[in-house]
Amino acid sequence: MKQFKQDFLWGASTSAYQVEGAYGEDDKGLSVQDVKAVLPGTPDFKVASDHYHHFKEDIALMAEMGFKTYRFSIAWTRIIPDGDGAINPKGIEFYSKLIDECLKYKIEPLITMYHFDLPFELEKKGGWSNRKTIDAFLKYAKVLFEEFGTRVKYWLTINEENMMILHGAAIGTVNGSAAEVQKILYQQNHHMLIAQALTMKLLHKMVVGAKIGPAPNISYVYPKTCKPEDILAMQNFTAIRNWLYLDMAVYGRYNTVAWNFMEKTGITPAIEAGDMEVLKDAKPDFIAFNYYATATVADGSAIFEDDESGDQQISIGMKGFYAGSKNEYLQKTQFGWEVDPEGFRITLREIYDRYHLPLIVTENGLGAYDEVNENGEIIDDYRIEYLQKHIMQAKLAVDDGVELLGYCPWSAIDLISTHQGFVKRYGFIYVNRTEDDLKDMKRLKKKSFYWYKKVIASNGEDLTNNK
Ligand code: BG6
């Protein structure tokens, strides 16, 4: 059996607004996440895991696990507090120190430029609906590449652009019901795609040898049955969820089925002269993607009504196109997300077959209610089992011929979930706080911490869990 490459990028991920805290410190501007209304009973993002003040300790723990990479995001609002105005030297200083801390341990920084936290000042001017946000992003990108380009080899443009369009209400990047704002959203999407293309080009021009790619959430979509109408529904959802984003990033063209969906529903974006050339002109070096589970859909043409209650992994459907459906062969997590390790291999094969670019997994993991026992331990065997099975399937995908550069589960350390609070923990490192009590923020090593250390040390060969 083929093995993971010798320089395989083992690591894990976080995002700035979910982990850093210090939301108003050192001249940081507000982001849309800082001002969004959180669900009753869930915390806001003001303190999060206080990574801003604990980053040295946190990176030392990641180094202890043997990380080869750490995927984190830079908060645009720390670098340019109002999104397109003055540069904040304290923001540059913070990320400079964070990058140096990683490099000290030979941990390759893998940086997401934008992870759901658009500067609020830009949002007030229309956010991504305003074409000027493309210029603002480019300005921000230029600062990042100038300041950090010599130290950072791997860049990710935009985290889960597809989820911001499909489930922005759950993530907190869209106000109000997505159905009412479809036309606006697909125009925003067009602008983000242009921003991404220009950014990829800019990096290649500014930093020779640096690599960049998109980071959507990609899931293989199963048809509920082999009924032809279910297959059509599967193709519809696959196009809208996955290929719209990757066909554009790689080939610079709108996916036909997705474009047809936009035409039929009257939500095609306005495309200005020169846009399609810009989109065609950029090429990613790799595809990064987040994977939690597959999706299953059935024919959506009948009595089905649109429903807004979905999230990144719970697909509800669109009347006339597809209906989200349960997969009876899969178990669910405590938070209702299906678990499908084989689907991971299927998704890896599908993406690679379609685009023939190296892949990096930038998220994969299990959100669960972790408990500290009377001995101060966190025995998260369920997480180990989830990751074990997924790494095994990644290995099989490598054996199938997929070129896989790295694996970064979500998340390196406990942090705040997009919409389900701190109780939905994902980390290898436990953070001692609750929804409403910040306690001492102490870091504790979960059982999965020791397990992952062993996995990395053996380059993915030893996945055993000693119970
Ligand atoms: C991805 C996001 O959708 O899933 C992360 O990129 C997010 O920001 C992760 O935290 C897990 O989702 P959730 O909703 O459980 O936080």
Q: Which ligand 1 atom is at minimum distance from the Cα of 15?
A: 8
Token output for 116: 């759901």
CA torsion angle 204 205 206 212 (round to 10): -10
147 lines ligand 1 (CB under 6 A): no
Every domain of the chain and the residues it spans: 9-218+237-288+335-457
Surface-to-core class of residue 263, CB atoms within 10 Å of its CB (0-12 exposed, 13-18 middle, 19+ buried): exposed
Active-site positions read 160, 363
CA of 278 to the centre of ligand 1 (A): 30
Whole-angstrom CA distances from 429 to 12, 343, 412 are 11, 27, 7
Pocket test residue of 370, 415, 417 for ligand 1, highest count of atoms within 8 A of CB: 417
268 lines ligand 1 (CB under 6 A): no
Q: What are the pLDDT digits (tens) for 128-186?
A: 999 999 999 999 999 999 999 999 999 999 999 999 999 988 888 887 666 678 999 99
| Nearest-angstrom CA–CA distance, 342 and 334 | 20
- pLDDT for 311 equals 84
For the chain, list residues with pLDDT below 50.
none
Tell me if 163 CB under 6 Å of ligand 1: yes
312 lines ligand 1 (CB under 6 A): yes
Asked if 243 and 255 touch (Cβ cutoff 8 Å), the reply is: yes
Q: Which of 280, 365, 432 is nearest to 14 (CA)?
A: 365
Taking the alpha carbons of 266, 270, 273, 279 in that order, is the dihedral positive or negative? negative
Whose Cα sits closest to atom 5 in ligand 1?
A: 418
Q: Find out whether the beta carbon of 290 lies less than 6 Å from any atom of ligand 1.
A: yes
Question: Which residue, among 157, 154, 329, 292, has the nearest Cα to 218 in the 3D structure?
Answer: 292
For residue 304, the model assigns a pLDDT of 57
Work out the mean pLDDT of the chain and round it to a whole number.
95
273-314 pLDDT, tens digit per residue, is 999 999 999 999 999 999 999 999 999 876 555 555 788 888
Confidence (pLDDT) at 68: 98
> According to the model, what pLDDT value does residue 467 have?
72
Of the options 3.40.50.300, 1.10.3720.10, 3.20.20.80, 3.30.420.40, the CATH number for the domain spanning 9-218+237-288+335-457 = 3.20.20.80
Q: What is the Å distance from ligand 1's center to 281 Cα?
A: 31
For residue 420 and ligand 1, the question of a CB distance below 6 A is answered with yes
Q: What is the pLDDT of residue 179?
A: 64
56 token code pair: 């040295």
Ligand 1 centroid to Cα of residue 16, in Å, is 12
The pLDDT of residue 37: 84
For 229, phi then psi, to 5°, come to -65, -35
